[in-house]
Structures are given as C-alpha cells and as structure tokens.
Amino acid sequence: MSQTNRPQGANWRDFAWLKQFMPRGLYGRAALILIVPIVTLQLVVSVVFIQRHFNRITVQMTEAVVAEVSLIVSQINASASVDEALAASKGIAGPLNIRVALPADTVATQRQFADFTGLRVERTLEQGLPGLIGVDLVGDRSLVTLAVDTNFGILRVVLDRDRVSATNPHQLLVLMVVTGFLMTLIAYLFLRNQLRPIRRLARAAEAFGKGQVLPYRLAGATEVRAAGKAFLDMRSRIDRQIEQRTLMLSGVSHDLRTPLTRLRLGLSMLEDDARDELQRDVDDMERLVDGFLGFAQADALEDAPEQVDPVEMIHHLAENAQRAGMAVSLGDVANPGERPLRRASLERALDNLLGNATRYGSRARLSLLQGRGDLRFVVEDDGPGIAVKDREEALKPFTRLDKSRNQNKGSGVGLGLAIASDIARGQGGHLRLGESTDLGGLKVELVLPL
C-alpha cells in the first residue's frame, strides 16, 4: 500500500526566531508565564462578555426607545395640526422623560470612533425608525439626539444616553485590569519567594566551579531541596576526593625523600666510576618527587581571592623569569584593571607554563588579552609544539609526549600542563592549547572568566 505525501504542518523550528525575543532569566520567564494567561483571559472576557453581553443589552434597550419614538411619530402623523401634533407628542414624551421639538432643525449623524455601543444604537434606530434623518451621539455624550421626518416637519427627540445603553460598561474592564494587576503582584511576590532558593543554589554551584565555597542552606520546595541536597553531597564528595588525592601524593612524595637522602649520602662516599650515573638517577628521582609534590600542592594551595592587577603580575613574572636566565619577553598586554584572582596559585600556573616553554623552546612570550567576558594569559614558545590529536591527552596528569618535544632539554614528569589546568579550573576557567602563529611553537591560553 503506497503512502501518500502528507502536507507538512508548522514545525516548532519555524518559530525559532521568537527565541531572541524571549527572556533568558528565570524571573523573566516566570513573569511571562504569569502575565500571558492573565492578559489572554482579560482579552477573552472583554471580547466575549463586553462585546456580546453589553451589545445585546444595548440592542434591547434601544429597541424599547424605538417603540416609544414610533408611538410619538404615529400620534403626530395622526394629528390634524401642528399644535395638536405637538401637544400629543408631549403628552406621550413627558412621562417617558423624552424631550421633543416640532418643527426643528435637522441633526447630523455623529459618533465617536471608540464608542462601540454607539454603533449598535445607531444601527438599531435606523432599522426601527424608517423616517430617521440623523443621530447625534457626540454633541452631548450624556444625551442622544434624534431627527425624525413627520407629516409636520422634522421632529427632534432628545433623551438620556443611559436609556439606550449601559451607563458604564468600562467599569468591568477597569475592575478586571485592577484585579489582574493585584493578582499578578501577589503571584510575583509568591514566585520570588519560590525562586530565591534556586538562585542561591545557582550562585553556590557557580562559586564552587570557580574554586570558592559559599555557605548554602537547604530551602524552598521539595524538588529544590532535593537538588540542593544532591549538590551538597556532590561538593562534599569532590572535596573529600581532592583531599585524599592531595594527602596521598604528599605522603608518598614525602616518604620517598628519606631513602633518596640516604642514597645521596651513600653515593657521596663512593669513589667508583659508576657514581656519576647513579647520581644522575637520584637527581631524576628527586625531580620526580618534586613534581609529585607540586601536583599535590596545586590542590592544597587554597589562597583566597584578592584584588590583583594582572598587568603588574605578568610584568613581575617576566622579570623573575629573565633573572632566572629564561628568554621570556612580553607580548600584547591589555589593561582590564584590578580583578579578584588567586594570585599565588595563578603565578604558580604561569611559572609552570613559562618553564615548559623555555624548556622545549629557545624563547617564550607572555601576553595578556581581554576578550568578551574572559581574561586570557597566553604563553607561546618557538619549540616543536604539540600535535592537535595529542593536545587533550597532554592536559592529563603524568602524560609525557617527548616524541614531539625536544629531547635535548630532558624529560619532565608530565605534570606542568596538568597543574596549570587544575589551577585554571579551580578559578572557574580552563586551559586551551594551540599553535603560535609567529613563533611556530606551542600556544597555551589560561582563560579565566571576568
């Protein structure tokens, strides 16, 4: 059985352009959820109730006036003279609170554009009074003035506007608007109280991502409390794991120093030709231990954020590197002003990056760039760099890619990039590897949010 092609209906993707006009915050979206139904309800009630109900009442009231005016016109047309016609019309109009004049000047049809019930009044009078000449609803808004053709000339009929339409149909609309505003205000206050715990949870999670621990107390609805408890449990587990890793690496590294010291002491007493080779092995082992301790200190170093001038800091780092014999120069330096940063850990990360750059290359360059919402510390070198396929692996601890790096400078522990990456993540940022456009070597960007 063949399938017929069905016409494609509207897809939600066709309305994707609406997203740019939608609020992005939780408060804005919640307010939109509140306001749209209330406004829609008021519009529906206004159209269905006011337009239909009040129009129906207006037609019924105007039809009663048509009957009264028709009776007056019939009495005038049945009279023998003008005086008799005027007397007969006043005899009927007086008890009905209608004022008449005969003969009178003509009346032009006038109605305000916003007078919706006036349109119904005008149409009903035209249908019920064949001799109607004009209807004035503008001259005095509290009155209705009619001009009707009779056998003795034009009859002017003046009556109160509330005889043909409801007096204040707008009162319902005003009441709806005021009530809707009050209900929206009450709902907003209630909603703000419900959203406050969510915002506190978001701030605590954002701060933890930047390496800060904000006090957080469970509050709000059951679902929010459940999410908050899960966050607190996760934060505790992560802190516990970091502490255990730090203690393990520190303990192992510390315990290894004792036998290394004894080996170094024993080697100093030897006069054998193999002593130099053994001494180099001990030096390598000490370098490995120092690397392990450095990696452990990357987590243990919990300096508090302070107001730091990044420009002064990178000048200080470059001067220290130059005094240590490193070929380090400064590149572009932006001036973002003082920022809350963990200076000690950040200097440690940049020192590691500069050490790596001068270790695998002949010169290095340190730059400070400011982007949209981030601050970038850039370290470039003229070494062999790291292949694109190996860059993700290079950020992992204890990873050495010596095949693509300079063997003449010696092999490292594989923790320099890992330490810098951990420090960047601890401040809410990340480490990005690339290729230097002019130096040709590795380009490392330590990106921190502003």
Question: Which pLDDT score, from 0 to 100, does residue 1 have?
Answer: 44
3-state secondary structure of 94: coil
Domain parsing of the chain, residue ranges: 27-167, 303-449
On whether the CB atoms of residues 445 and 370 are closer than 8 A, the answer is no
Question: Percent of the chain beyond pLDDT 70?
Answer: 80
The per-residue b/e assignment along 71-90, b for 16 or more CB within 10 angstroms, e otherwise, is ebbebbeebeeeeebbebbb
Residue 398: pLDDT over 80? no
pLDDT tens per residue across span 274-318: 677 777 777 777 766 766 666 665 555 556 678 889 999 999 988
Cα–Cα dist 449/192, whole Å: 28
Tens-place pLDDT, residues 326-379: 888 888 888 888 888 888 888 888 888 888 888 888 889 999 998 888 899 999
Residue ranges in 46-169 assigned as alpha helix (H): 55-77, 82-93, 116-128
Question: Quick one: DSSP state of residue 367?
Answer: E
Share of the chain above pLDDT 90, in %: 11
Domain 27-167 superfamily per CATH:
Sensor histidine kinase RisS, periplasmic domain (3.30.450.300)
For 29, phi then psi, to 5°, come to: -70, -40
pLDDT band at 164 (very low <50, low <70, confident <90, very high): confident
pLDDT band at residue 18 using 50, 70 and 90 as cut-offs: low
Taking CA 369 as the corner, what is the angle to CA 379 and CA 414, rounded to the nearest 5 degrees?
25
Running DSSP on this structure, what letter comes out for residue 139?
A: S
Q: How confident is the model at residue 446 (pLDDT cuts 50, 70, 90)?
A: very high
**Rounded (5°) CA angle 88-93-99:** 115
Residue 117, judged by CB atoms within 10 A of its CB (0-12, 13-18, 19+), counts as buried
- Grouping H, G, I as helix, E, B as strand and the rest as coil, residue 123 is helix
377 against 194, higher pLDDT: 377
Question: What CATH fold (topology level) applies to the domain 303-449?
Answer: Heat Shock Protein 90 (3.30.565)
User: Quick one: pLDDT band at residue 253, thresholds 50, 70, 90?
Assistant: low
The alpha helices in 106-221, defined as continuous H runs, are 116-128, 170-209
- Give pLDDT, residue 71: 92
pTM of the model: 0.49
Please report, in angstroms and rounded to a whole number, the separation of the first and last CA atoms in the chain: 62
Average pLDDT over residues 109-137: 86
Residues across the chain: 450
Q: What is the mean pLDDT of the chain?
A: 79
> If you average pLDDT over each of 80-94, 175-189, 394-408, which comes out highest?
80-94
Q: Quick check: 229 pLDDT over 60?
A: yes
- For residue 406, the model assigns a pLDDT of 45
Question: Taking Cα atoms as reference points, which of 383, 371, 380, 364 lies closest to residue 429?
Answer: 371
pLDDT on residue 400: 63
Handedness of CA 70, 73, 74, 75 (dihedral sign): positive
**Mean pLDDT in residue range 381-402:** 79
